[in-house]
Each structure stands twice: as structure tokens, then as C-alpha cells.
Amino acid sequence: MSYLEINNLQKDYSDFILSLSFSVEKGELVTILGPSGSGKSTLLSLISGIESVDKGEIKIDGKDITKLPISKRGISMVFQDFSLFPGMNTKKNIEYGMKEKNSKKRDQKTEELLNTIGLPGYGKRKVTTLSGGEAQRVALARAIASEPDILLLDEPLSALDAPLRKKLRGSIRAIHDAFSTTMLYVTHDREEAFAISDKILIMKDGKVEAFGTPEELYRNPPTLFTAFFTGDGTALPASLIYGDGIEGSVFFRPESVTVSEESLEGGLYPNHLVFNNVEVLSAEYTGPGYMLGLSFRGMPMIAFSPLKPKKRLVSLMILMDSVKKIKS
């Protein structure tokens, strides 16, 4: 039995239906990833009790919490707007939801949390003087201090600039690892999801499109939507590779491609796909090399090359093990 079980959960709106099932193991950090309007925040609202469920059930550690009030669910939630209490200092904000009543133990736990989030000595600071990144870390510490069964985070870093987001996602993972709290983390940023997650749940149109580890979803995407939502790549008709009558697509990542300015004889490379006379349309410098925009028989392709091609027409070679066949 999984720690969090979402069974046939459904919420109906006039223009949108959320309908899904999935489960999370105790102590996992699962990121919910998807485009705007896919139902990510709605899912958190249903789990937390902010919105009521139309059908299905939500269980935590075997207990059905579907109809319980918010205060009885054992869930904490962190939003993107921090929601700190401006009339309290940092210490009092963190202690607000603590179950511990012993003042000495409360002080010890607060100091431990401040050290974990990288803000030692900030207890007496007014929260109105904190930077955005500091305030978000305090909000995380306050949520953890209440010892929730599950912590929900709804795009907590989206209001921050990119360098600070990158720094703070490490803090979120550190907090998770320090307290082994089961977390559901909503974002639309795939880099963020890959960096901190044990597993990623990809949503599309209110449903689960894919669910797995970051490595599984990147290397073996089950759908084209998953493939492109988790990174760059090329999709071609499967019939182009396997012959007429074969349905679906083949997909491969740009780093799987070897670019040559010489024509390649396919028979010499039986374990590879070989394409000759591929036109170079663009070459964007990325630091480690060039991301090439290509065209083969009018079909777009993308490839990574450490060097910028000097010729307009190039050849490509892709190891067959890197090519994934996907049903459309």
C-alpha cells in the first residue's frame, strides 16, 4: 500500500474535467509538471481540501481523508506568495503551527529549521525586512514545523528571478532530505523538476500523461507530448525508418546525434540510423557547442554538435538504442 493514494479522483467544471489516479510512496518528492491549464494547482486544491471532490478518494497512510476538513488532513501547503504573518518575527512565524508545546524544545526546533534553510540567527528578524528568497525559505520552514504528513508546494519559486530559483530549489531538496517529508511540488519548469524530483507526474488536460523518475521520462518517454515536454528532440514518422504501413513516430534527443560533413554509408553502421544530405538551417551556440536546426526531406530535425558545420549539407548518425518508437 502506497502512502498517498489518489484513486479515480474527479472534479468537473463547465469547461474542464480533472480525472486521474496515482500513488506516492512515503518520503518521496514528486513534482507535478505540466503546461498552464493542465490541472496542476487544481489537483493540490483537491488534495488539501480547498476544493471538494466530485468523485473518487484520497488516502494518506490508508486513511480516507476525502471528506475531512482542511485542518484534519495533516497537510501543509506553501504558495508562491509566501503568506507570512507581517506582525510576527521570523521565529514566531516558524513556530506558529508547531505541535510542540515545550518552549525549550520549540526554540531548539526553530534553530534547527533556520540552520537547515540557511538562515541561522534570523529568528528575531522582521519578516518584512526579508528578501524574496529568504521569505520563501521561512515559509517552507513554517510548513515543515507543523510536521505535516504531506507538504504541498504550489509553484513556490515562480515569483523569483532565475538565479535565485536555481539556488532555492537546492534548499527545497535539502529540507526534504533532512526531514524525509513526503512532498508534492507543482511547477511548469522542467529543469526545476529534473533537479529536485524523485519522480515526476506529467499532466495534460486534467489527466496523467506520464509518471516516472526523471531519467525514465527523459530516456524512454511514453508519448510524444512527454518527449517534447521533458526536453528537445526530433520526431519522425516511423514509416520513414521501418517502412510503409508502420504507424507512430520515432524520437531521439539531439545529444544522441553524431554530425558528419562527409557522406556516410549506412551499411557500414548496422546499429545506427544514417541520414545523408541533411540541410543545416541554423546553428545556435550554447557554450559546450552548437544546437543545429536541420531539415531532412522537409522534416525538421535537431542535433547537438561540438563544432559548427562549415557545409550546408551534412550527414547524421544515431545509435538505434537511442531511438524510441512511440505510438502517436
Structure letter (DSSP) for residue 230: S
Q: What is the pLDDT of residue 229?
A: 95
Residue length of the chain: 328
pLDDT over 90, % of the chain: 78
**Does residue 137 register a pLDDT over 90?**
no
**Does residue 328 register a pLDDT over 70?**
no
Q: In three state form, how does the secondary structure of 14-36 look?
A: CCCEEEEEEEECCCCEEEEECCC
pTM: 0.91
CA proximity to 187, closest of 208, 209, 165: 165
pLDDT over 70, % of the chain: 100
Conformation bin of residue 118: beta by default, left when phi > 0, alpha when psi is -120 to 50:
left
**Does residue 1 register a pLDDT over 90?**
no
Q: Which three cell numbers stand for residue 58?
A: 484520497
Q: What span, in angstroms and rounded, lies between the C-alpha atoms of 181 and 21?
A: 21
Q: What is the pLDDT of residue 206?
A: 97
Q: What's the whole-number mean pLDDT along residues 226-232?
A: 96
Q: What span, in angstroms and rounded, lies between the C-alpha atoms of 272 and 256?
A: 11
**Does residue 210 register a pLDDT over 90?**
yes
Q: What is the pLDDT of residue 167?
A: 82
Tens of pLDDT, residues 57-108:
999 999 999 999 999 999 999 887 778 999 999 999 999 878 888 888 899 9
Q: What is the pLDDT of residue 266?
A: 85
CA angle, 207 as apex, 206 and 208 as ends, to 5°? 140
Angle between helices 103-116 and 132-145 (to 10 degrees): 140
SS3 at position 246: coil
What amino acid occupies position 149?
D
Among 167-176, 180-189, 265-274, 305-314, name the one with the lowest average pLDDT.
167-176
Structure letter (DSSP) for residue 89: B
Q: What is the pLDDT of residue 267?
A: 87
Q: What's the whole-number mean pLDDT along residues 307-324?
A: 96
**Does residue 126 register a pLDDT over 80?**
yes
Average pLDDT of every residue of the chain: 93
Q: What is the pLDDT of residue 277?
A: 96
CA angle, 33 as apex, 185 and 135 as ends, to 5°? 35
Residue entry with cell 508547531 = 98
| Confidence bin at 121 (pLDDT 50/70/90) | very high
